[in-house]
Structure 1
Amino acid sequence: MSRILVIDDEPQIRRFLTISLESQGHQISEAQCGAEGLAMVALEQPELVILDLGLPDIDGQQVLQQIREFSQVPVIVLSVRNHEREKVLALDNGCNDYVEKPFGVKELLARIRAVLRTSSGKPAAKSGYDDGRLNIDFVSRTVQLEGERVRFSPREYELLLELVQHPGQIITQHQLLKKFWGEGHLDDTHYLRIFIRQIRNKLGDDPARPAYIETEAGVGYRFLGESLTG
Protein backbone atom coordinates (compact mmCIF):
# COMPACT_ATOMS: atom_id res chain seq x y z
CA MET A 1 0.00 0.00 0.00
CA SER A 2 1.36 3.49 0.86
CA ARG A 3 4.00 5.00 3.13
CA ILE A 4 2.25 7.48 5.42
CA LEU A 5 3.87 9.90 7.86
CA VAL A 6 1.81 11.03 10.88
CA ILE A 7 2.97 14.33 12.46
CA ASP A 8 1.11 14.78 15.74
CA ASP A 9 2.23 15.50 19.30
CA GLU A 10 -0.51 13.40 20.94
CA PRO A 11 0.72 9.81 21.50
CA GLN A 12 -2.83 8.43 21.66
CA ILE A 13 -3.72 9.95 18.28
CA ARG A 14 -0.54 8.61 16.69
CA ARG A 15 -1.21 5.17 18.17
CA PHE A 16 -4.82 5.17 16.99
CA LEU A 17 -3.87 6.27 13.48
CA THR A 18 -1.03 3.76 13.27
CA ILE A 19 -3.30 0.85 14.26
CA SER A 20 -6.09 1.98 11.92
CA LEU A 21 -3.86 2.61 8.92
CA GLU A 22 -1.66 -0.46 9.35
CA SER A 23 -4.83 -2.56 9.41
CA GLN A 24 -5.41 -1.29 5.85
CA GLY A 25 -1.91 -2.34 4.77
CA HIS A 26 -0.21 1.07 4.99
CA GLN A 27 3.33 1.54 6.31
CA ILE A 28 3.33 4.19 9.06
CA SER A 29 6.04 6.49 10.39
CA GLU A 30 5.50 8.86 13.31
CA ALA A 31 6.84 12.30 14.22
CA GLN A 32 5.90 14.13 17.43
CA CYS A 33 6.98 17.66 16.45
CA GLY A 34 7.35 19.85 13.38
CA ALA A 35 11.13 19.73 13.06
CA GLU A 36 11.16 15.94 13.24
CA GLY A 37 8.34 15.75 10.73
CA LEU A 38 10.10 18.01 8.23
CA ALA A 39 13.26 15.91 8.42
CA MET A 40 11.28 12.71 7.89
CA VAL A 41 9.44 14.14 4.88
CA ALA A 42 12.81 14.82 3.26
CA LEU A 43 14.54 11.60 4.28
CA GLU A 44 11.74 9.06 3.96
CA GLN A 45 9.75 10.67 1.11
CA PRO A 46 6.36 9.36 2.26
CA GLU A 47 3.46 9.13 -0.16
CA LEU A 48 1.13 10.96 2.24
CA VAL A 49 1.48 13.17 5.33
CA ILE A 50 -1.17 13.51 8.03
CA LEU A 51 -0.42 16.77 9.84
CA ASP A 52 -1.72 18.21 13.12
CA LEU A 53 -1.61 22.01 13.38
CA GLY A 54 -1.07 22.28 17.14
CA LEU A 55 2.53 21.13 17.38
CA PRO A 56 4.82 21.99 20.32
CA ASP A 57 7.73 23.54 18.40
CA ILE A 58 6.45 24.90 15.07
CA ASP A 59 2.88 25.79 14.20
CA GLY A 60 1.44 23.29 11.74
CA GLN A 61 0.69 26.04 9.21
CA GLN A 62 4.40 26.86 9.12
CA VAL A 63 5.28 23.18 8.82
CA LEU A 64 2.94 22.96 5.84
CA GLN A 65 4.54 26.00 4.22
CA GLN A 66 8.02 24.56 4.71
CA ILE A 67 7.00 21.17 3.30
CA ARG A 68 5.74 22.93 0.19
CA GLU A 69 9.11 24.61 -0.28
CA PHE A 70 10.69 21.29 -1.21
CA SER A 71 7.94 18.69 -1.70
CA GLN A 72 4.56 18.17 -3.30
CA VAL A 73 3.71 15.18 -1.11
CA PRO A 74 -0.05 15.10 -0.41
CA VAL A 75 -0.91 16.50 3.03
CA ILE A 76 -4.11 15.94 5.00
CA VAL A 77 -4.46 18.33 7.92
CA LEU A 78 -6.05 16.75 11.00
CA SER A 79 -6.87 19.43 13.55
CA VAL A 80 -9.20 20.60 16.31
CA ARG A 81 -9.13 24.06 14.74
CA ASN A 82 -12.53 24.42 13.10
CA HIS A 83 -12.53 28.09 12.13
CA GLU A 84 -13.06 28.76 8.45
CA ARG A 85 -9.99 31.03 8.31
CA GLU A 86 -7.77 28.16 9.52
CA LYS A 87 -9.12 25.85 6.83
CA VAL A 88 -8.71 28.48 4.11
CA LEU A 89 -5.17 29.26 5.28
CA ALA A 90 -4.21 25.57 5.31
CA LEU A 91 -5.60 25.09 1.80
CA ASP A 92 -3.80 28.22 0.59
CA ASN A 93 -0.62 26.88 2.19
CA GLY A 94 -0.93 23.71 0.12
CA CYS A 95 -2.81 21.03 2.05
CA ASN A 96 -4.87 18.59 -0.01
CA ASP A 97 -7.65 18.06 2.54
CA TYR A 98 -8.69 19.23 6.02
CA VAL A 99 -10.30 16.94 8.58
CA GLU A 100 -11.51 18.19 11.96
CA LYS A 101 -10.93 16.38 15.24
CA PRO A 102 -12.78 14.42 16.52
CA PHE A 103 -13.06 12.42 13.32
CA GLY A 104 -14.52 9.15 12.11
CA VAL A 105 -11.91 6.65 10.99
CA LYS A 106 -14.02 5.48 8.04
CA GLU A 107 -14.29 9.03 6.74
CA LEU A 108 -10.55 9.59 7.20
CA LEU A 109 -9.72 6.36 5.35
CA ALA A 110 -12.01 7.43 2.49
CA ARG A 111 -10.30 10.81 2.30
CA ILE A 112 -6.88 9.15 2.32
CA ARG A 113 -7.93 6.89 -0.57
CA ALA A 114 -9.22 9.90 -2.52
CA VAL A 115 -6.03 11.93 -2.00
CA LEU A 116 -3.78 9.00 -2.91
CA ARG A 117 -5.79 8.37 -6.09
CA THR A 118 -5.35 11.94 -7.31
CA SER A 119 -1.65 12.07 -6.43
CA SER A 120 -0.54 8.73 -7.92
CA GLY A 121 2.09 8.97 -10.60
CA LYS A 122 3.64 12.24 -9.38
CA PRO A 123 7.46 12.36 -9.32
CA ALA A 124 9.30 11.86 -6.03
CA ALA A 125 10.10 14.94 -4.00
CA LYS A 126 13.56 16.46 -4.21
CA SER A 127 15.38 17.54 -1.09
CA GLY A 128 18.22 19.60 -2.51
CA TYR A 129 20.53 20.69 -5.30
CA ASP A 130 24.20 19.76 -5.66
CA ASP A 131 26.46 20.12 -8.69
CA GLY A 132 29.75 19.78 -6.82
CA ARG A 133 30.18 23.56 -6.56
CA LEU A 134 26.79 24.81 -5.41
CA ASN A 135 24.87 22.94 -2.72
CA ILE A 136 21.36 23.90 -1.61
CA ASP A 137 19.63 21.96 1.16
CA PHE A 138 15.88 22.54 0.82
CA VAL A 139 15.16 21.22 4.32
CA SER A 140 17.69 23.24 6.32
CA ARG A 141 17.39 26.18 3.87
CA THR A 142 21.16 26.50 3.63
CA VAL A 143 23.34 27.37 0.64
CA GLN A 144 27.01 26.50 0.24
CA LEU A 145 29.33 27.59 -2.55
CA GLU A 146 32.54 25.56 -2.88
CA GLY A 147 32.04 24.34 0.69
CA GLU A 148 31.51 27.77 2.21
CA ARG A 149 28.17 28.89 3.67
CA VAL A 150 26.55 31.75 1.74
CA ARG A 151 23.99 33.89 3.58
CA PHE A 152 20.78 34.77 1.78
CA SER A 153 17.92 36.96 2.99
CA PRO A 154 14.58 35.13 3.22
CA ARG A 155 13.33 36.75 0.00
CA GLU A 156 16.57 36.04 -1.86
CA TYR A 157 16.39 32.40 -0.81
CA GLU A 158 12.72 32.09 -1.79
CA LEU A 159 13.43 33.46 -5.28
CA LEU A 160 16.46 31.20 -5.73
CA LEU A 161 14.47 28.18 -4.55
CA GLU A 162 11.62 28.93 -6.98
CA LEU A 163 14.07 28.97 -9.89
CA VAL A 164 16.08 25.94 -8.75
CA GLN A 165 12.97 23.79 -8.39
CA HIS A 166 12.00 24.45 -12.02
CA PRO A 167 15.30 23.79 -13.87
CA GLY A 168 15.31 24.71 -17.54
CA GLN A 169 11.91 26.38 -17.26
CA ILE A 170 11.34 30.09 -17.71
CA ILE A 171 9.64 31.63 -14.71
CA THR A 172 8.07 34.87 -15.87
CA GLN A 173 8.53 38.19 -14.15
CA HIS A 174 4.78 38.36 -13.53
CA GLN A 175 4.74 34.90 -11.93
CA LEU A 176 7.53 35.85 -9.55
CA LEU A 177 6.13 39.28 -8.73
CA LYS A 178 2.67 37.87 -8.09
CA LYS A 179 3.94 35.06 -5.88
CA PHE A 180 6.39 37.06 -3.77
CA TRP A 181 5.07 40.64 -3.85
CA GLY A 182 1.39 40.29 -4.73
CA GLU A 183 -1.01 41.45 -7.43
CA GLY A 184 -0.33 45.12 -6.74
CA HIS A 185 3.31 44.86 -7.84
CA LEU A 186 3.08 43.15 -11.23
CA ASP A 187 4.78 46.09 -12.95
CA ASP A 188 7.53 46.54 -10.37
CA THR A 189 10.14 44.60 -12.32
CA HIS A 190 12.92 46.65 -10.73
CA TYR A 191 12.28 44.65 -7.52
CA LEU A 192 13.22 41.48 -9.36
CA ARG A 193 16.26 42.97 -11.07
CA ILE A 194 17.67 44.07 -7.72
CA PHE A 195 17.12 40.70 -6.04
CA ILE A 196 18.33 38.65 -9.01
CA ARG A 197 21.49 40.79 -9.15
CA GLN A 198 22.09 40.17 -5.44
CA ILE A 199 21.57 36.42 -5.87
CA ARG A 200 23.94 36.31 -8.84
CA ASN A 201 26.60 38.22 -6.92
CA LYS A 202 26.42 35.75 -4.04
CA LEU A 203 26.65 32.79 -6.44
CA GLY A 204 29.51 34.37 -8.40
CA ASP A 205 27.34 34.09 -11.52
CA ASP A 206 28.25 36.26 -14.53
CA PRO A 207 25.03 37.41 -16.26
CA ALA A 208 26.92 37.62 -19.57
CA ARG A 209 27.99 33.97 -19.27
CA PRO A 210 25.60 32.53 -16.67
CA ALA A 211 26.22 29.19 -15.03
CA TYR A 212 23.01 29.30 -13.00
CA ILE A 213 20.53 32.08 -13.74
CA GLU A 214 19.80 33.08 -17.31
CA THR A 215 17.72 36.14 -18.20
CA GLU A 216 15.12 35.88 -20.94
CA ALA A 217 14.92 39.59 -21.80
CA GLY A 218 11.52 41.09 -21.07
CA VAL A 219 10.10 37.70 -20.05
CA GLY A 220 11.73 36.22 -16.96
CA TYR A 221 14.49 33.96 -15.68
CA ARG A 222 15.62 30.37 -16.14
CA PHE A 223 17.75 28.20 -13.84
CA LEU A 224 20.33 26.32 -15.92
CA GLY A 225 21.45 23.63 -13.46
CA GLU A 226 19.76 20.24 -13.24
CA SER A 227 21.46 18.46 -10.33
CA LEU A 228 18.46 18.10 -8.03
CA THR A 229 18.98 15.48 -5.35
CA GLY A 230 16.46 13.00 -4.06
Structure 2
Amino acid sequence: MNIAVAGQGFGLGLSLIAAIGAQNSYVLKKGILKNNVFAVAVTCTLIDAVLISLGTLGLGSIIEKNKTFMLLATLFGVLFLSYYGLTSIMKAIRSKESFLIEEGREKDSLKKTILTLLALSLLNPHLYLDTVILIGSIGSKYPINQRLDFVIGTCLASFVWFFGLAYGARVLIPIFKKEVTWKILDIMIGITMLSISLSLIQFTIKNHF
Protein backbone atom coordinates (compact mmCIF):
# COMPACT_ATOMS: atom_id res chain seq x y z
CA MET A 1 0.00 0.00 0.00
CA ASN A 2 1.12 3.55 -0.79
CA ILE A 3 0.83 5.22 2.63
CA ALA A 4 1.23 8.72 1.18
CA VAL A 5 -1.71 8.29 -1.18
CA ALA A 6 -3.85 6.71 1.54
CA GLY A 7 -2.92 9.57 3.86
CA GLN A 8 -3.99 12.13 1.27
CA GLY A 9 -7.29 10.33 0.89
CA PHE A 10 -7.75 10.24 4.66
CA GLY A 11 -7.08 13.96 5.02
CA LEU A 12 -9.38 14.93 2.17
CA GLY A 13 -12.14 12.61 3.34
CA LEU A 14 -12.02 13.83 6.92
CA SER A 15 -12.05 17.50 5.92
CA LEU A 16 -15.24 17.01 3.87
CA ILE A 17 -17.07 14.47 6.05
CA ALA A 18 -16.54 16.41 9.28
CA ALA A 19 -18.47 19.43 8.01
CA ILE A 20 -21.70 20.05 9.95
CA GLY A 21 -24.66 18.80 7.94
CA ALA A 22 -27.88 16.83 7.96
CA GLN A 23 -26.19 13.46 8.27
CA ASN A 24 -23.80 14.46 11.06
CA SER A 25 -26.56 16.17 13.05
CA TYR A 26 -28.65 13.00 12.98
CA VAL A 27 -25.67 10.82 13.98
CA LEU A 28 -24.91 13.13 16.91
CA LYS A 29 -28.50 13.01 18.15
CA LYS A 30 -28.68 9.21 17.93
CA GLY A 31 -25.36 8.95 19.73
CA ILE A 32 -26.61 11.06 22.62
CA LEU A 33 -29.80 9.00 22.83
CA LYS A 34 -27.87 5.71 22.57
CA ASN A 35 -30.39 4.71 19.89
CA ASN A 36 -29.16 2.24 17.22
CA VAL A 37 -25.70 3.81 17.49
CA PHE A 38 -23.71 1.00 15.84
CA ALA A 39 -26.17 0.65 12.96
CA VAL A 40 -26.11 4.40 12.35
CA ALA A 41 -22.29 4.56 12.27
CA VAL A 42 -22.02 1.49 10.01
CA THR A 43 -24.69 2.78 7.60
CA CYS A 44 -23.00 6.16 7.20
CA THR A 45 -19.62 4.53 6.66
CA LEU A 46 -20.99 2.13 4.05
CA ILE A 47 -22.82 4.92 2.18
CA ASP A 48 -19.60 6.91 1.92
CA ALA A 49 -17.55 3.85 0.97
CA VAL A 50 -19.90 2.94 -1.90
CA LEU A 51 -20.19 6.48 -3.26
CA ILE A 52 -16.46 7.21 -2.96
CA SER A 53 -15.62 3.95 -4.73
CA LEU A 54 -18.09 4.64 -7.54
CA GLY A 55 -16.81 8.19 -7.90
CA THR A 56 -13.21 7.06 -8.13
CA LEU A 57 -14.22 4.56 -10.82
CA GLY A 58 -15.62 7.41 -12.93
CA LEU A 59 -19.29 7.72 -11.94
CA GLY A 60 -18.71 11.30 -10.79
CA SER A 61 -18.27 12.65 -14.31
CA ILE A 62 -21.45 10.86 -15.45
CA ILE A 63 -23.59 12.29 -12.63
CA GLU A 64 -22.11 15.75 -13.07
CA LYS A 65 -23.22 15.76 -16.71
CA ASN A 66 -26.72 14.45 -15.91
CA LYS A 67 -28.53 17.72 -15.20
CA THR A 68 -31.93 16.03 -14.89
CA PHE A 69 -30.75 13.70 -12.15
CA MET A 70 -29.11 16.54 -10.22
CA LEU A 71 -32.23 18.70 -10.55
CA LEU A 72 -34.55 15.94 -9.31
CA ALA A 73 -32.19 15.02 -6.49
CA THR A 74 -32.03 18.66 -5.44
CA LEU A 75 -35.83 19.01 -5.52
CA PHE A 76 -36.36 15.96 -3.31
CA GLY A 77 -33.55 17.11 -1.05
CA VAL A 78 -35.06 20.57 -0.59
CA LEU A 79 -38.51 19.16 0.21
CA PHE A 80 -37.28 16.53 2.66
CA LEU A 81 -34.73 18.69 4.46
CA SER A 82 -37.22 21.56 4.75
CA TYR A 83 -39.84 19.25 6.24
CA TYR A 84 -37.37 17.66 8.65
CA GLY A 85 -35.99 21.05 9.68
CA LEU A 86 -39.39 22.63 10.33
CA THR A 87 -40.56 19.53 12.22
CA SER A 88 -37.49 19.62 14.44
CA ILE A 89 -37.98 23.31 15.28
CA MET A 90 -41.72 22.93 15.95
CA LYS A 91 -41.08 19.92 18.19
CA ALA A 92 -38.58 21.92 20.22
CA ILE A 93 -41.05 24.78 20.64
CA ARG A 94 -44.15 22.73 21.46
CA SER A 95 -42.79 19.78 23.39
CA LYS A 96 -43.58 19.59 27.11
CA GLU A 97 -42.28 16.07 27.74
CA SER A 98 -39.43 15.05 29.98
CA PHE A 99 -36.14 14.76 28.17
CA LEU A 100 -34.38 12.36 30.53
CA ILE A 101 -32.35 9.95 28.43
CA GLU A 102 -32.89 7.08 30.87
CA GLU A 103 -36.62 7.23 30.16
CA GLY A 104 -35.98 6.37 26.53
CA ARG A 105 -36.90 9.53 24.68
CA GLU A 106 -37.41 8.93 20.97
CA LYS A 107 -36.20 5.35 20.86
CA ASP A 108 -36.92 4.83 17.19
CA SER A 109 -36.97 1.36 15.69
CA LEU A 110 -33.96 0.20 13.71
CA LYS A 111 -36.00 0.32 10.49
CA LYS A 112 -37.15 3.91 11.06
CA THR A 113 -33.66 4.99 12.04
CA ILE A 114 -32.03 3.51 8.93
CA LEU A 115 -34.72 4.81 6.56
CA THR A 116 -34.45 8.31 8.00
CA LEU A 117 -30.66 8.20 7.76
CA LEU A 118 -30.80 6.98 4.15
CA ALA A 119 -33.21 9.79 3.28
CA LEU A 120 -31.07 12.45 4.98
CA SER A 121 -28.01 11.11 3.16
CA LEU A 122 -29.17 10.08 -0.30
CA LEU A 123 -31.69 12.90 -0.83
CA ASN A 124 -29.00 15.48 -0.12
CA PRO A 125 -27.15 16.36 -3.35
CA HIS A 126 -24.27 17.78 -1.29
CA LEU A 127 -23.36 14.18 -0.44
CA TYR A 128 -22.90 13.35 -4.12
CA LEU A 129 -20.98 16.56 -4.73
CA ASP A 130 -18.55 15.77 -1.91
CA THR A 131 -18.10 12.02 -2.29
CA VAL A 132 -18.85 11.02 -5.88
CA ILE A 133 -17.87 14.17 -7.76
CA LEU A 134 -15.21 15.93 -5.66
CA ILE A 135 -13.47 13.00 -3.93
CA GLY A 136 -14.15 10.75 -6.91
CA SER A 137 -12.66 13.17 -9.42
CA ILE A 138 -9.52 13.58 -7.31
CA GLY A 139 -9.19 9.83 -6.77
CA SER A 140 -9.64 9.07 -10.45
CA LYS A 141 -6.57 11.15 -11.26
CA TYR A 142 -4.29 8.71 -9.44
CA PRO A 143 -2.73 5.82 -11.40
CA ILE A 144 -4.90 2.69 -11.46
CA ASN A 145 -2.65 0.87 -9.00
CA GLN A 146 -2.95 3.70 -6.43
CA ARG A 147 -6.70 4.35 -6.56
CA LEU A 148 -7.49 1.56 -4.13
CA ASP A 149 -5.07 3.11 -1.62
CA PHE A 150 -6.82 6.46 -2.02
CA VAL A 151 -10.25 4.86 -1.53
CA ILE A 152 -9.06 2.98 1.56
CA GLY A 153 -7.75 6.23 3.06
CA THR A 154 -10.99 8.16 2.48
CA CYS A 155 -13.15 5.27 3.71
CA LEU A 156 -11.00 4.99 6.83
CA ALA A 157 -11.63 8.69 7.46
CA SER A 158 -15.36 8.06 7.18
CA PHE A 159 -15.13 5.12 9.60
CA VAL A 160 -13.12 7.07 12.18
CA TRP A 161 -15.38 10.11 11.98
CA PHE A 162 -18.78 8.44 12.17
CA PHE A 163 -17.87 5.95 14.89
CA GLY A 164 -16.10 8.69 16.82
CA LEU A 165 -19.09 11.02 16.50
CA ALA A 166 -21.71 8.38 17.29
CA TYR A 167 -19.99 6.94 20.35
CA GLY A 168 -18.20 10.11 21.42
CA ALA A 169 -21.56 11.88 21.70
CA ARG A 170 -22.10 10.02 24.97
CA VAL A 171 -19.72 12.45 26.62
CA LEU A 172 -22.47 15.06 26.20
CA ILE A 173 -25.14 12.97 27.97
CA PRO A 174 -24.90 14.83 31.33
CA ILE A 175 -25.57 18.10 29.51
CA PHE A 176 -28.56 16.66 27.66
CA LYS A 177 -30.37 15.59 30.80
CA LYS A 178 -31.81 19.11 30.83
CA GLU A 179 -34.92 19.83 28.77
CA VAL A 180 -33.63 23.18 27.53
CA THR A 181 -30.50 21.54 26.06
CA TRP A 182 -32.63 19.21 23.92
CA LYS A 183 -34.68 22.16 22.73
CA ILE A 184 -31.52 23.99 21.71
CA LEU A 185 -30.19 20.90 19.87
CA ASP A 186 -33.49 20.36 18.03
CA ILE A 187 -33.60 24.02 17.00
CA MET A 188 -29.96 23.90 15.84
CA ILE A 189 -30.67 20.74 13.83
CA GLY A 190 -33.72 22.40 12.30
CA ILE A 191 -31.75 25.50 11.33
CA THR A 192 -28.99 23.33 9.86
CA MET A 193 -31.50 21.42 7.72
CA LEU A 194 -33.17 24.62 6.51
CA SER A 195 -29.82 26.27 5.72
CA ILE A 196 -28.78 23.24 3.66
CA SER A 197 -32.14 23.38 1.87
CA LEU A 198 -31.59 27.07 1.10
CA SER A 199 -28.08 26.38 -0.21
CA LEU A 200 -29.52 23.68 -2.49
CA ILE A 201 -32.03 26.18 -3.89
CA GLN A 202 -29.25 28.70 -4.52
CA PHE A 203 -27.11 25.99 -6.15
CA THR A 204 -29.98 25.00 -8.45
CA ILE A 205 -30.74 28.57 -9.50
CA LYS A 206 -27.07 29.19 -10.20
CA ASN A 207 -26.48 26.05 -12.23
CA HIS A 208 -29.81 25.43 -13.99
CA PHE A 209 -31.33 28.85 -14.68
Q: Same fold (TM over 0.5)?
A: no
Higher RCO by CA contacts (8 Å cutoff, separation 6 or greater): 2
Which bracket does the TM-score occupy, shorter chain normalised?
under 0.3
Q: What's the TM-score once normalised by structure 1's chain length?
A: 0.24
Which has the larger Rg?
1
TM-score (ref. length: structure 2) = 0.26
